[in-house]
Chains A and B, each alone.
Chain A
Amino acid sequence: MFQNRAEAFALVLPAAIFAAVVFLAPVLILLSEGFRSGDSWTIQAYIDFFSQSLNQTVFLRTLKLAALVTAASAVIGYAAAFAIVNLPPKGKGRITGLVVLPLMISPVARTYAWLVILGRTGFVNKALVTVGLSDEPIRFLFTETAVFIGLLQLFLPLMIISLISALENMPRDAVPAARVLGANWLQVFTKVILPLTKEGLVIGGTLVFTGSMTAYITPAILGGSKVLMLETLLYQRVTVANDFVSASVIALILIVMAFAANLLLKRLATARNKR
Chain B
Amino acid sequence: MTNKLFSPIILLLVLAFLIGPFLIIIAASLSAGETLAFPPQGLSLRWVLKVFEVESFRASFGISMFLAIGGTLAALILGIPASYALSRYKVPGAETIRTIVSSPIIVPGIIVGLALLRYFVVPFNFGILFALFLAHTALILPYAVRVVSASLNNLRSDIEEAAVLLGSSRVGAFFRVVMPNIRGGILAAFILGFVTSFNQVPVSLFLSGPGVRTLPIDMLAYMEITYDPSVAALSALLAFMSLGIVFLAERFLGFSRYV
Contacts and interface: CB of A to CB of B under 8 A. Distances in A.
Given A112-B232, A244-B118, A76 B14 contact: yes
Interface residues of A, number: 75
Interface stretch (A11-19, A53-61, A166-174, A193-201): A11-19
B236 interface: yes
Contacts of B116: 22, 26
B35 A254 contact: no
A27 B97 CA distance: 17
B185 interface: no
Interface string A235-267: 100100000100100010011001100100000
Contact of B220 (A11, A98, A220, A255): A220
Contacts of B138: 18-19, 22-23
A273 interface: no
A228 interface: no
> DSSP class of B's interface residues: helix, strand, loop or mixed?
helix
A271 interface: no
A10 B110 CA distance: 31
A25 B118 CA distance: 12
> DSSP class of A's interface residues: helix, strand, loop or mixed?
helix
Interface in A3-33: 3-5, 7-9, 11-12, 14-16, 18-20, 22-27, 29-30
Contact of A105 (B78, B114, B145, B239): B239
Nearest to B39: A123
A27 to B, nearest CB: 5
B201 A217 contact: yes
Interface residues of B, number: 79
Interface stretch (A43-51, A63-71, A113-121, A132-140): A113-121
Contact of B141 (A11, A18, A80, A110): A18
Which 4 pairs, one residue from A and one from B, show the smallest C-beta to C-beta distance? Answer: A109-B235, A113-B21, A26-B115, A11-B85
Given A4-B89, A11-B82, A95-B11, 16 more contacts: A1-B90, A1-B157, A3-B90, A7-B85, A15-B79, A18-B138, A30-B114, A82-B7, A83-B11, A108-B201, A113-B24, A214-B110, A220-B220, A234-B114, A255-B106, A255-B108
